[in-house]
Structure 1
């Protein structure tokens, strides 16, 4: 979820994707319709990833825009 341009400590972050439909509390961000995975990103389980850990998947730019907006809303409250 983070890159060198946005992360001073250079530690990669990941948030798990929950598959299926559910009522979405504020920490769950629905994936964009164009994202082939389906489900919600669980921002409440955001965690650091070991630099040499196993590879993780990626989501579309539209989904990352939703994540960006959710994080901004969370920290501006």
Structure 2
């Protein structure tokens, strides 16, 4: 039984060793798309945050509040 487990582990390690590096990872096109999506999302988030902050300041909503129990909320 132990011999079969060692054989199985050996075959598994050899198989993983011969796989190309990009087999499990994203290719260049996918990586670039993810970077683009991240940048677009960050820009959108920043624009929405700026809009919310401006609105809060206009109507007098506090941007940050600390409670007696130590809790904090922030816009």
User: Which TM class, normalised by the smaller chain length?
Assistant: under 0.3
Higher relative strand content: 1
Query: Greater relative contact order: 1 or 2 (C-alpha under 8 angstroms, separation 6 or more)?
Result: 1
TM-score for both structures, normalised by structure 2: 0.23
Higher relative helix content: 2
TM-score for both structures, normalised by structure 1: 0.22
